[in-house]
């Protein structure tokens, strides 16, 4: 990377600066910078999943049919008592085991299964190894499940906040129940849901720091590896324990993400509240 700098600039920077520039752009550090994409992907896709799960959860929870309402209520309220990290670990594990169980029933011979009784997977052929991106997809779905319950709460509240007069007017115009829902109720719901959804987004961003728990070599894991005391036989101790410095950088990175998100949501709220008769609406 350092070769890309023109010679005069290098001379002007001096040997110390160029050394550190070189050090912080070596292959390992480039991999570290690139691994940010796992975090960003997980946040964006996780948020998309959470929105889908949130809409479905809210629809179930507010349904008139008790057979739909009860599962919805359990789903929405479950996250109140159980930490997110537990779901985050459990869902990928359970999914992997379910896949292996399905494969085992197809590929395992009774003899092979009997040999490994009480072990998992039932036979070696049934073992599934997920790639990093498959784990990332699973992580996004788990984030979606956990934070979907939070989003469902927000969306259900926002649906209740839409003024009754709007819905009554729509009905008086002769719109069917379906049309009222899709053309009046849902579009107006967003502005009431935005502050709550912004909170959920902040939670999702912070939860993306847990990706390393699913064997994804994300920024947290690479920071740990890069900062760990580095000892080589030829050069001796290259550097001591620098992990806290790398984690400090991550801390600042996340604070920056929060800062940017706040600004974006403030702009979104301003935009979405144009012409709406609510507090703080842009006129």
Partner 1 sequence: MTLVDAIWADVVALWRPALLNIYFAFASIPLGFVLAIFVALGKASRNRPLSRLASGYIYAFRGSPFFIQLFMFYSLMLALNLSVWKPLGIDTIVLNPLVLGPAILALNTTAYSAEIFHGALMAVPRGELEAARAFGMTRAQIFRRITWPNMLRLAWPAYTNEVVFLFHATALVYFTLPVIDGNADLMNKAGELFERDYNALLHYSVTAMFFLAISLCIFLIFGTFYRHLMRHTEGPKRIKFTTARL
Q: Which of 139, 144, 135 is nearest to 47 (CA)?
A: 144
Name which of residues 178 to 237 contact partner 1 (CB under 8 A). 196, 199-200, 203, 205-210, 213, 220, 223-224, 227
Tokens 């819905």 belong to which residue?
Answer: 167
Is the distance from CB of 92 to CB of 142 less than 8 angstroms?
Answer: yes
Residue 116 touching partner 1 (CB under 8 A): no
Residue 269 touching partner 1 (CB under 8 A): no
Burial class (CB in 10 A: 0-12, 13-18, 19+), 209: middle
For partner 1, the closer of residues 187 and 229 by Cβ is: 229
Alpha-carbon distance 27 to 268, whole Å? 38
Number of residues engaging partner 1 in binding (CB under 8 A): 48
Please, what sign has the CA dihedral across residues 125, 127, 133, 218? Answer: negative
Residue 143 touching partner 1 (CB under 8 A): no
Alpha-carbon distance 245 to 132, whole Å? 27
Residue 32 touching partner 1 (CB under 8 A): no
Q: How far is the CB of 113 from partner 1 (least distance, A)?
A: 14
Alpha-carbon distance 230 to 250, whole Å? 20
Angle between helix 186-207 and 132-161 (nearest 10): 140
Name which of residues 145 to 174 contact partner 1 (CB under 8 A). 149-150, 153-154
Residue 52 touching partner 1 (CB under 8 A): no
Residue 130 touching partner 1 (CB under 8 A): no
Q: How far is the CB of 232 from partner 1 (least distance, A)?
A: 20
Q: How many CB atoms are closer than 10 A to CB 235?
A: 8
Structure tokens at 41: 């992907």
**Selected range binding partner 1 among 42-50, 62-70, 88-96, 270-278, rule: CB under 8 A:** 88-96
For partner 1, the closer of residues 166 and 258 by Cβ is: 258
**Selected range binding partner 1 among 14-22, 27-35, 44-52, 86-94, rule: CB under 8 A:** 86-94
Tokens 């998309």 belong to which residue?
Answer: 48
For partner 1, the closer of residues 238 and 248 by Cβ is: 248
For partner 1, the closer of residues 5 and 250 by Cβ is: 250
Residue 244 touching partner 1 (CB under 8 A): yes
**Selected range binding partner 1 among 42-50, 177-185, 245-253, 268-276, rule: CB under 8 A:** 245-253
167-198 in b/e form (b: 16+ CB < 10 A) is beebeeeebeeeebbeebbeebbbbbbbebbb
Residues that bind partner 1 (CB under 8 A): 79-86, 89-90, 93-94, 97, 118-120, 149-150, 153-154, 196, 199-200, 203, 205-210, 213, 220, 223-224, 227, 240-244, 247-248, 250-251, 254-255, 258-259
């Amino acid at each position: 990377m350092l070769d890309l700098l023109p010679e005069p600039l290098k001379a002007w920077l001096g040997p110390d600066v160029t050394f550190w520039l070189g050090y912080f752009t070596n292959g390992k550090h480039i991999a570290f910078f690139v691994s940010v994409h796992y975090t960003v992907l997980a946040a964006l896709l996780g948020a998309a999943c959470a929105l889908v799960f949130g809409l479905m959860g809210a629809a179930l929870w507010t349904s008139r049919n008790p057979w739909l309402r009860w599962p919805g209520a359990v789903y929405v309220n479950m996250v109140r008592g159980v930490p997110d990290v537990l779901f985050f670990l459990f869902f990928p594990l359970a999914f992997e085991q379910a896949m292996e169980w399905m494969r085992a029933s197809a590929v395992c011979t009774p003899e092979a299964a009997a040999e490994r009784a009480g072990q998992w997977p039932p036979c070696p052929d049934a073992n599934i190894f997920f790639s990093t991106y498959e784990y990332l997809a699973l992580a996004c779905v788990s984030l979606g499940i956990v934070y979907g319950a939070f989003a469902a709460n927000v969306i259900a509240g926002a649906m209740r906040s839409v003024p009754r007069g709007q819905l009554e007017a729509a009905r008086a115009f002769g719109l069917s129940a379906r049309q009222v829902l899709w053309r009046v109720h849902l579009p107006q719901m967003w502005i009431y849901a935005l502050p709550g959804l912004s909170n959920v987004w902040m939670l999702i961003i912070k939860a993306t720091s847990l990706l390393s728990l699913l064997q994804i070599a994300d920024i947290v894991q690479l920071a740990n590896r890069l900062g760990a005391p580095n000892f080589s036989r030829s050069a001796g101790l290259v550097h001591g324990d620098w992990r806290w410095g790398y984690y400090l950088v991550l801390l600042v990175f996340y604070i920056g993400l929060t800062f940017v998100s706040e600004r974006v949501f403030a702009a979104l709220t301003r935009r979405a509240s144009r012409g709406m008769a609510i507090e703080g609406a842009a006129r």
